């Protein structure tokens, strides 16, 4: 559906040149909800703006549907843009028009009669759940409502693609969720292909099926959501994921208050990670049954991503050292990743493999 090939975007100032996007190639398939994450300045916003040529790449090809947008003359480019909806962080609604006026804006000059435009506006308002706000001005709407109007406006010309440029970044967590749910619904109901730019891994986790992570204008890692969450290679990706699972914050807290752990020489601190089928509780129960190792769960986070459960636990394993080793081997044999953790408590010294 969307194919970006070797995209370079270079901004040239009098004094310096900035390479905002460097040789990025991405392929977004029809029906995908594709997340592009990165910190501010990573170039993700510039990248998404190349998809409708709001930002013309210095080099590269932008193929949306059947067209290479780079080859289109202005008139045809405008036609192509009508089929690429876009929503923004600050909604960008026109203050001088009512909700209905904003949604009708892109419909003028499309050959629809006044009545048809009115019907279409009603239909779109119903789709985003704002039928009662038809004649309200944007200044009277909340952020979430404004974004709903922006979504309705973006969908007015029945696009196949929706670009979201930090669309939820100005919204509170609850409103963010409701907007994401709406996007997911549109994806399923209309078969809309969605590209989402965000700095929040939570957003990606919530609705994306594919992710690309950007840093310094480059895509450093890319893949489907579950494999990125379970098998990230790049340190930046790992950092983003840990912000979403909050396992790092939990470890930080434990590290600051080691006495909370009350560890003895029989205990080790470890993180346990598992994906999908390997559900934790029977395994943990069998650790005691088979090896007399008790497992104390200090922190747990279980996500369901694309219908696959992903668990991250922080546990204390207690038992004789030999038995503990057997238990760990048993877990690993069941596709559970176990990492032993160092801690500041000076009860005993590690002599087994230590993972920081």
Structure tokens, 337: 């990743």
Q: Which is nearer to another protein, 139 or 265 (CB)?
A: 139
* Stretch in the footprint of another protein (CB under 8 A) among 84-92, 178-186, 259-267, 340-348: 84-92
Question: Hey, CA dihedral for 35, 199, 298, 343, is it positive or negative?
Answer: positive
Given candidates 22, 82, 134, 326, which one binds another protein under the rule CB under 8 A? 82
Q: Which is nearer to another protein, 101 or 309 (CB)?
A: 101
Under rule CB under 8 A, residue 105 binds another protein: yes
Residue with tokens 């501010």: 40
- How many other C-beta atoms lie within 10 A of the C-beta of residue 351? 7
Structure tokens, 140: 């009277």
Query: What's the min distance (Å) between Cβ of 49 and another protein?
Result: 9
Closest CA to 162 of 144, 131, 184: 184
Query: What's the min distance (Å) between Cβ of 106 and another protein?
Result: 4
* C-alpha 209: how far from chain center: 9
Cβ 35 vs Cβ 212: under 8 Å: yes
Under rule CB under 8 A, residue 92 binds another protein: yes
Under rule CB under 8 A, residue 106 binds another protein: yes
Query: What's the min distance (Å) between Cβ of 146 and another protein?
Result: 12
Cβ 188 vs Cβ 181: under 8 Å: no
Under rule CB under 8 A, residue 94 binds another protein: yes
Strands 161-165 and 84-88, sheet pairing = parallel
The helix (H) or strand (E) run that includes residue 186 is helix 173-190
Q: Which is nearer to another protein, 74 or 356 (CB)?
A: 74
Given candidates 5, 22, 67, 90, which one binds another protein under the rule CB under 8 A? 90
How far is Cα 92 from Cα 138, in angstroms, rounded to an integer?
Answer: 10
Q: Which of residues 147-166 bind another protein (CB under 8 A)?
A: 150, 153-154, 157, 163
Q: How many residues does the chain have?
A: 356
- What's the alpha-carbon Rg for the chain, to the nearest Å? 25
Query: What's the min distance (Å) between Cβ of 98 and another protein?
Result: 8
Q: How far is CA 182 from CA 34, 75, 191, 206, 315, in A?
A: 15, 32, 13, 12, 37
Under rule CB under 8 A, residue 109 binds another protein: yes
Query: What's the min distance (Å) between Cβ of 317 and another protein?
Result: 54
Structure tokens, 22: 């460097």
Given candidates 80, 203, 204, 313, which one binds another protein under the rule CB under 8 A? 80
Under rule CB under 8 A, residue 97 binds another protein: yes
Q: How many residues bind another protein (CB under 8 A)?
A: 30
Under rule CB under 8 A, residue 78 binds another protein: yes
Cβ 193 vs Cβ 160: under 8 Å: yes
* C-alpha 226: how far from chain center: 12
Q: Which of residues 45-64 bind another protein (CB under 8 A)?
A: 52, 54
Under rule CB under 8 A, residue 67 binds another protein: no
How far is Cα 166 from Cα 154, in angstroms, rounded to an integer?
Answer: 15
Under rule CB under 8 A, residue 95 binds another protein: yes
Under rule CB under 8 A, residue 288 binds another protein: no
Under rule CB under 8 A, residue 171 binds another protein: no
Cβ 68 vs Cβ 19: under 8 Å: no
1 to 40: interface string for another protein, x by CB under 8 A: ----------------------------------------
120 to 139: interface string for another protein, x by CB under 8 A: -----------------xxx
How far is Cα 168 from Cα 209, in angstroms, rounded to an integer?
Answer: 18
Residues at the interface with another protein (CB under 8 A): 52, 54, 77-82, 84, 86, 88, 90, 92-97, 105-106, 108-109, 137-139, 150, 153-154, 157, 163
């Amino acid at each position: 559906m969307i194919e970006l090939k070797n995209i370079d975007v270079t901004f040239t100032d009098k004094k310096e040149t900035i390479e905002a996007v460097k040789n990025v190639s991405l392929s977004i398939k029809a029906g995908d909800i594709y997340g592009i994450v990165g910190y501010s300045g990573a170039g993700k916003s510039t990248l998404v703006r190349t998809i409708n040529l709001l930002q013309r790449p210095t080099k590269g090809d932008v193929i949306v549907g059947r067209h290479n947008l780079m080859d289109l003359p202005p008139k045809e480019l405008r036609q192509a843009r009508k089929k690429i909806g876009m929503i923004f962080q600050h909604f960008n609604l026109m203050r001088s028009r009512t909700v209905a006026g904003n949604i009708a804006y892109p419909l003028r000059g499309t050959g629809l009669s006044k009545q048809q435009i009115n019907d279409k506006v009603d239909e779109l308002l119903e789709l985003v759940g704002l039928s009662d706000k038809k004649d309200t001005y944007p200044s009277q709407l909340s952020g979430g409502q404004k974004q709903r109007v922006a979504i309705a406006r973006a969908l007015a010309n029945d696009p196949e693609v929706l670009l979201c440029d930090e669309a939820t970044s100005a919204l509170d967590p609850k409103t963010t969720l409701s907007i994401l749910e709406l996007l997911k619904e549109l994806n399923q109901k209309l078969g809309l292909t969605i590209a989402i730019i965000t700095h929040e891994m939570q957003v990606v986790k919530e609705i994306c099926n594919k992710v690309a992570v950007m840093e310094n204008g480059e895509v450093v890692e890319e893949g489907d959501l579950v494999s990125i969450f379970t098998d990230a290679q790049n340190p930046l990706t790992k950092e983003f994921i840990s912000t979403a699972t909050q396992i790092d914050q939990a470890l930080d807290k434990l590290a600051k208050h080691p006495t909370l752990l009350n560890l003895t020489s029989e205990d080790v601190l470890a993180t346990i990670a598992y994906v999908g089928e390997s559900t934790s509780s029977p395994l943990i129960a069998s650790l005691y049954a088979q090896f007399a190792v008790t497992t104390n769960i200090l922190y747990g986070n279980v996500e369901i991503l694309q219908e696959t459960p992903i668990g991250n636990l922080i546990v204390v394993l207690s038992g004789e050292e030999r038995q503990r080793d057997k238990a760990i081997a048993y877990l690993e044999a069941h596709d559970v990743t176990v990492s032993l953790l160092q801690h500041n408590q000076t009860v005993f010294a590690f002599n087994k493999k230590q993972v920081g």
